[in-house]
Structure 1
Amino acid sequence: MFKLTINITSFQPKRLLNVLVLFIFFVSSSVVSAQTRMVVGFVTDTLNQPIAGANIAIEGTNVGTATDDNGRFKLNITEKHNVIIKVSYLGYETEWFTVNAKDKSEFTELHFRLKPETQSIEGVFVSAIQRRQGNIDRLNAKGITFMPNISGSFESLLKSIPGVSSSNELSSQYSVRGGNFDENLVYVNDIEIFRPFLIRSGQQEGLSFINPDMVSSVEFSAGAFNAEFGDKMSSVLNVHYRKPTSYQTVASASLLGAGVTTEGVMANSKFSFITGVRYKTSQYMLSTLDVKGDYTPTYIDWQGLFNYQLTPKFSISLLGNYSGNSYLFAPDVRETRFGMFSNTLQLKIYYEGQEVDKFQTAMGALTFEYKPTSSTSLKLYSANYINSERETYDLLGQYYLNELDNSLGSSSYGDSLINVGIGGFLNHARNYLDVYVNSIGHIGQYQFGKSKLKWGIQAQKELFDDELVEWELIDSSGYSLPYNGEHVGLAYAIRSNNRFESFRSSGFAQVDLNNNLGDFRVQTTLGCRAFYWDFNNEFLISPRGNISIVPLENKNLEFHISSGIYYQPPFYKELRLPNGQLNYSIKSQKSIQYLLGAEYYFKAWGSPFRVSAELYYKSLKNLIPFK
């Protein structure tokens, strides 16, 4: 403590000046000794993502601070000697930095990059089984990329499920329990997916919409599904693409194609993206078909899912897709042998001409999601689908039907003995189709206890611009089919030009109840859909329900029963009659479905197994046949 006493009675100016100098010296010394240094900086991980809440401390003291949400910090140092700054955070290795006292700067900026900490612990075995919940199967999508299949499609995973079948290994289409392949619903992130309409074979089809490298979860129902899913009769495939948490790139290549998928996060993890490009060619597979020629199919596909978290309660996502399929086919010759050993025949066809097809589709869906509470989710979405298809061909064929030598030991065994038929045909098509589908909808969900309430509405507008010119001439042994003795006719001919718009609206309400009744856990799902279409002024009501029962004493056993009324309103293919005109009196296809099943889960030889049995019945009405 410094104390200054002045005796006024003995005041002398010279002595006062000395005292003032001494006073200024002590004050300036105190200021210098109290001078501080400001240290600022930020803390990130090895991916340069900020770490919030990291501890910043001066070692050996109680002075410290913590990083903010952006990973930044500020610290004042008043020590005269060297200071060691310690930076630590749970799960990361600790970092130190020494501030040299000889450095007289008043401001220091630092950047700490913490590495993840690894610790050796005892081995832990974790296993999981994909459990069925009522009429919905939850599938493991991780192994799809390792499943051997020619088409390379995600739907190959479904073909291993009982009740699902496919007659063409080049196609991603499938039928469920005897239904048509157009009776299957496909959703990606709650958006219904459409496919090209003029495709006639698996050779032309190309890539499936679903990119396996982007999938996070898969749900599938082979009939009697819930009201939350749309208006078709056979099945529903519900796929969700994942929301990335880090940077990652996956690439693959083969003789049939290649693909690259990349994902990442930005803007302090508020923005995430996952996008992929795929290329496929089935040229090598098509060269093994009976019809020999020049096959040049090329298929390319791009998809992307972009998410931005505006606030903790509000987010925006964009799902985009472009697909371009080009199919060029110039046939040369076809040779097929058939019949019995006693009467073996050979059909040989020589071709001229070519087929050129192009199918281009683009889709974009923007979704706004608002979560006012942890139990409530509100979504508003707008989806747009554009489809442009071109099918053109002129194919001339001349065929010869010969009887083959089937005499064993003959020098001409397997060669042609006699010609039993000769003829030709000419196929022509100039088919063009443009489709525009615009929809807007809302999906809501409210969780109360163990139960859940879901609802949704959608309005959809469609525009079709269809131009068909197609005919076939068949000539056999000097006359044409059909033969009338007067003039040359065509086997069939279509010429039409249709342009029309239509509007559809639909909605649903569904409640999922979970309760324990005695010794059983019971999950009940009850719902109802409503649908209206202005093309034929049809209004439909579709009630649906499902009950799942699990004994509490044996949770590996599950029973379920489902039922409902299912309508499938017509779309482009069903509307067009064989002559190319529109059927304005058409009605929706209808089915009543009943499903009774049981599941049992167990382990054997260290692996999980599932035994399932189902009894399924479907009553059909107003079926619409088409090619």
Structure 2
Amino acid sequence: MGLNKIILVFLFFCLGSVAFAQSAQIKGVILDKNNQPVSNVNVSSQDIGTRSNVNGFYILKVSANQKVVVVFSHISLKKATVAITLKPDEDYEFNLVMNDKDEQMGEVIITVNNKKRVQGVTVLEPEMIRKIPGANPGVENILKSLPGVNSNNELSTQYAVRGGNYDENLVYVNEIEVYRPFLIRSGQQEGLSFTNTDLVQNVDFSAGGFQSKFGDKLSSVLDITYRTPIQFGAVAEASLLGASLAVDAVSKNGKWSEVSGIRYRNNSLLVDSQETQTNYTPVFADFQTNVNFKPSDKWEFSFLGNISSNDYKYQPLSRQTNFGTIQDPMALLIYYEGQEKDKYTTVFGAVKSTYTASKNTTYKLIASAYHTQEQEYYDILAQYRLGEVDSNFGSENFGDVAFTRGIGAQLNHARNDLDALIINTELKGIHNWKKNQFEWGAKFTRESIRDRVIEWEVIDSAGFSINPPIEFLPKNDQPYSPYTGPLVPYQNVRATNFVDINRFSGYAQWSRKGYIGSNEVWMNAGVRSQNWMVSGDNITSTNQITFSPRAQFSLKPNWNKDMFFRLSGGLYHQPPSYRELRDANGVVQPDVKAQQSIHIVLSNDYSFKMWDRPFKMVSELYYKSLTDVNPYTLDNVRIRYAAANNAKAYAEGFDFRLNGEFVPGTESWFSFGYLKTEENIENKGYISRPTDQRLKFALLFQDYMPKIPSIKLYLNLVYNTGLPGGSPSYADPYFYQNRLRDYRRADVGFSKVLIDEQNPTSKRWLQSFKELAIGLEIFNLFDNQNAITNTWVRDVYSKNQYAIPNYMTTRVFNVKVNMRF
């Protein structure tokens, strides 16, 4: 029996479905009728109890997935009782006002956050994010299992949403926009995602039709909130791919709190599984902290800081890629000389203050700064041999190159440096009046970019230097006729740019909850605007402005079935970032206009019970009409723009997700997505965009063994149809519309919980652990060959361009240990 079959059999034997006890916690502040904190309140449930401190704060662990009764009692106040049902690992805030006259009784059933549900926002559980296996674990790893979200690169945290590219996604942490490095061209250089999963409290995601309060991008919003700790704690993880440590701390008076995390990552284990044999020395590390200070009920201050260093050293040695068909197998053999040295160092800091003027009015002031210094240096000589493979099973040379079709060499050189400083200042307000909520904001952003680009490529085939196919060069008909033109690099990009971009943006929006007859409705309408000016050395200053009206309407009919309908959309703009202003030759084009898109999203949300367990089915139909499109090419995760608004495009599709407790006490889901996105460049006709991912299936599944619930299983499975394979440099993409093979990947993790609340230990030296678990992860379980891009090899004799797929990682095993104190 092959290894794939053995793994598959083992996987099915592990898919049990027996419930075991899980916990949640309820916390909050207890006040008296004068809004003064009440200390020494007894808070108890099922023989477990605690007391409120001098600030009236309490925290109590309770059983999940069942109704429990929590009793609040005090020597001088009347008793209060609440019946509550929480989800596993739910961290629910319940604030209580006790009085001295009447006893209080109530019931709270905590299900999906209704506000997010009405707005069409997907809520992801932090505990699930931490446990689901993936080559790049974290928030983005879970996002890639959602419908409409696509990525064919397990070494990258970048993702495309509903036909957009990597630059079209907004990411916020604590309402502060965060950025990614500029120069990265492949996932293995990328290092760590900004988001530290160990610090996360809430994760919200919207794939389109989002509100005006979110920024000026075309595709999606990822809104992350880091937690405010309430007691000391620590969590640590160590594996063959790296290590992490996060610490929670709280002052004695409860006014100060902080959560900090440090991470180290080494992708050698993954990169070594690729076809290219290398000497690879990556060091990816970062430190983050979120400090909170609440001096009074009206004021709250916080600081979010991050220091990240990604040091990447890469020395390729050799590569063999087999491709073609069974009848005509071929191989590309490459021997390398040289190396690549890249370094990205980023520093990020943000200060946020919140002033609660009254129970209906809140103001927020946010200031942030992001500084990145990036370098990309490489000199790599690749000497290649392209030939036919001996496919005769009886031959001694089976699998070797029997006949050489072409030989050649390719020399790539780069000395790229970038220094960017981005400063933001923002003021926001929230006002509640009866059933209405008004929100507004004003923001100033200054981007200062210092960029030097020096890249060239020389291609030699059978002794002939290949010139770029540019019209003004003399006709190149080698070797049949002598070439008398100048010898120039096949590609040559040289530019130095000093650019400043000043942006003023703002928004205003209104929300209201009400009724139409007996049907519940929620409405939101707003507008965004941005004005930006591009200036710099040898650049004529330009000034442009956009207006983006947006709206959402949700209806919950008065039916027996728990169902929502939503219609959302508007006119969305994406004013150009520095990457969008720089063309393929490295020259900044300041007159590039904002890309704009009309979004229409129609969705249905149906919550129901199956097997006496909660489930939810979400389906969305969407259409985007894009104008002033800035075409681009996609090389792994590097985007090269044309810096010209010379195209129009559209994206249409359907997304479906069914999630719920397929196994009691755990959440799993199945996703399906259909997408079609095409663009028309200079009225030549519609062709597929680089992110035209037609079909997507994903399964995220959690389980535990029937009679040993401390052994758990996590499965992350994704199938995507092939993306367009791109085209050679300087070639017309209209002549290259072939596709890569389908992307198929399954990552599985097995975990054995040694210590937790259900499995305490009697060993003294282990009693400091609240949780201790050891796990085994298998990435690319079935060892599928997935391609991310093509390498284009030209043979001077046949004048053919061969598309050689660049394959991603193969099967990899990883061992990790999780600890919680």
Q: Same fold per TM (> 0.5)? A: yes
The amino acid of 2:145's aligned partner reads S
| Aligned equivalents of 1:439, 1:119: Cα separation in 2 | 42
Q: Indicate yes or no: 2:531 matched with 1:532.
A: yes
Q: Indicate yes or no: 2:205 matched with 1:220.
A: yes
What is residue 364 of structure 2 aligned with on the other side?
379
Q: Indicate yes or no: 2:558 matched with 1:575.
A: no
What is residue 42 of structure 2 aligned with on the other side?
90
Alignment map for 1:192-231 (pairs within 5 Å): 192-231=177-216
| Aligned equivalents of 2:373, 2:428: Cα separation in 1 | 30
Kept in 1, the 8 Å contact 2:451–2:498? The answer is yes
Kept in 1, the 8 Å contact 2:130–2:138? The answer is no
Alignment map for 1:131-146 (pairs within 5 Å): 131=114, 132-146=117-131
What is residue 554 of structure 2 aligned with on the other side?
548
Q: CA shift at 1:199, angstroms?
A: 0.4
Of 610, 613, 625, the residue aligned with 1:607 is 613
Alignment map for 1:447-526 (pairs within 5 Å): 447-482=432-467, 483=476, 484-526=483-525
What is residue 325 of structure 2 aligned with on the other side?
340
SS at match of 1:143: helix
What is residue 274 of structure 1 aligned with on the other side?
259
Tell me the alpha carbon deviations over residues 110-151 of structure 1, each in whole angstroms, 9 at most, x when there is no partner: xxxxx999999x973544335522332222222111101011
Q: CA shift at 1:610, angstroms?
A: 1.4
What is residue 166 of structure 2 aligned with on the other side?
181
Of 247, 250, 253, the residue aligned with 1:262 is 247
Of 586, 591, 596, the residue aligned with 1:590 is 596
| Aligned equivalents of 2:387, 2:140: Cα separation in 1 | 41
Q: Relative to 1, partners in 2 of residues 1:486 and 1:553: Cα closer, same or farther, differing over 3 Å?
A: closer
| Aligned equivalents of 2:275, 2:341: Cα separation in 1 | 19
Tell me the alpha carbon deviations over residues 407-432 of structure 1, each in whole angstroms, 9 at most, x when there is no partner: 24233322322222110011100000
Tell me the alpha carbon deviations over residues 520-549 of structure 1, each in whole angstroms, 9 at most, x when there is no partner: 100000000111002231111100000000
| Aligned equivalents of 1:243, 1:490: Cα separation in 2 | 55
What is residue 429 of structure 2 aligned with on the other side?
444
| Aligned equivalents of 1:429, 1:117: Cα separation in 2 | 58
Q: Relative to 1, partners in 2 of residues 1:400 and 1:52: Cα closer, same or farther, differing over 3 Å?
A: closer
Q: Relative to 1, partners in 2 of residues 1:119 and 1:258: Cα closer, same or farther, differing over 3 Å?
A: closer
| Aligned equivalents of 1:70, 1:204: Cα separation in 2 | 54
CA RMSD, aligned part only? 2.6
Aligned residues: 529
Q: Indicate yes or no: 2:302 matched with 1:317.
A: yes
Q: Relative to 1, partners in 2 of residues 1:118 and 1:353: Cα closer, same or farther, differing over 3 Å?
A: closer
Q: Relative to 1, partners in 2 of residues 1:296 and 1:606: Cα closer, same or farther, differing over 3 Å?
A: farther
| Aligned equivalents of 1:593, 1:214: Cα separation in 2 | 33
Q: CA shift at 1:178, angstroms?
A: 1.1
Kept in 2, the 8 Å contact 1:151–1:170? The answer is yes
Q: CA shift at 1:491, angstroms?
A: 0.4
Q: State the percentage of identical aligned residues.
A: 40
Of 235, 253, 257, the residue aligned with 2:238 is 253
| Aligned equivalents of 2:150, 2:337: Cα separation in 1 | 35
Query: Taking structure 2 as the reference length, what is the TM-score of the superposition?
Result: 0.62
What is residue 570 of structure 2 aligned with on the other side?
564
| Aligned equivalents of 2:577, 2:443: Cα separation in 1 | 17
The amino acid of 1:601's aligned partner reads S
What is residue 617 of structure 1 aligned with on the other side?
623
| Aligned equivalents of 1:223, 1:539: Cα separation in 2 | 22
| Aligned equivalents of 1:554, 1:602: Cα separation in 2 | 10
Q: Relative to 1, partners in 2 of residues 1:617 and 1:116: Cα closer, same or farther, differing over 3 Å?
A: closer
Q: Indicate yes or no: 2:354 matched with 1:354.
A: no
| Aligned equivalents of 1:485, 1:406: Cα separation in 2 | 42
Q: Indicate yes or no: 2:421 matched with 1:421.
A: no
Q: Relative to 1, partners in 2 of residues 1:70 and 1:172: Cα closer, same or farther, differing over 3 Å?
A: same
| Aligned equivalents of 2:307, 2:421: Cα separation in 1 | 14
Q: CA shift at 1:436, angstroms?
A: 0.4
Q: Relative to 1, partners in 2 of residues 1:606 and 1:69: Cα closer, same or farther, differing over 3 Å?
A: closer
Kept in 2, the 8 Å contact 1:130–1:139? The answer is no
| Aligned equivalents of 1:532, 1:431: Cα separation in 2 | 30
SS at match of 1:133: helix
Q: CA shift at 1:218, angstroms?
A: 1.6
What is residue 171 of structure 1 aligned with on the other side?
156
Say which is worse superposed, 549-558 or 205-214, in terms of deviation. 549-558
Q: Relative to 1, partners in 2 of residues 1:142 and 1:130: Cα closer, same or farther, differing over 3 Å?
A: farther
| Aligned equivalents of 2:446, 2:127: Cα separation in 1 | 36
Q: Relative to 1, partners in 2 of residues 1:235 and 1:249: Cα closer, same or farther, differing over 3 Å?
A: same
What is residue 20 of structure 1 aligned with on the other side?
none
| Aligned equivalents of 1:203, 1:412: Cα separation in 2 | 34
Kept in 2, the 8 Å contact 1:70–1:268? The answer is no
Kept in 2, the 8 Å contact 1:164–1:174? The answer is yes
Say which is worse superposed, 484-493 or 597-606, in terms of deviation. 484-493
Q: CA shift at 1:52, angstroms?
A: 11
Of 94, 98, 112, the residue aligned with 1:129 is 112
Unpaired runs of at least 5, structure 1? 1-50, 54-67, 72-87, 95-114
| Aligned equivalents of 2:485, 2:626: Cα separation in 1 | 45
| Aligned equivalents of 2:61, 2:623: Cα separation in 1 | 56
Alignment map for 1:358-373 (pairs within 5 Å): 358-373=343-358
The amino acid of 1:192's aligned partner reads E
Q: CA shift at 1:297, angstroms?
A: 1.5
Q: CA shift at 1:156, angstroms?
A: 1.3
Unpaired runs of at least 5, structure 2? 1-28, 50-57, 69-84, 88-110, 468-475, 477-482, 535-541, 633-639, 641-821
SS at match of 1:288: coil
| Aligned equivalents of 1:320, 1:206: Cα separation in 2 | 18
SS at match of 1:410: coil
SS at match of 1:225: coil
Query: Taking structure 1 as the reference length, what is the TM-score of the superposition?
Result: 0.80
| Aligned equivalents of 1:243, 1:69: Cα separation in 2 | 20
Say which is worse superposed, 597-606 or 390-399, in terms of deviation. 597-606
SS at match of 2:127: coil
Q: Relative to 1, partners in 2 of residues 1:412 and 1:69: Cα closer, same or farther, differing over 3 Å?
A: closer
SS at match of 1:311: coil
Kept in 1, the 8 Å contact 2:410–2:459? The answer is yes
Query: In terms of Rg, which structure is larger?
Result: 1
SS at match of 2:153: coil
| Aligned equivalents of 1:383, 1:116: Cα separation in 2 | 33
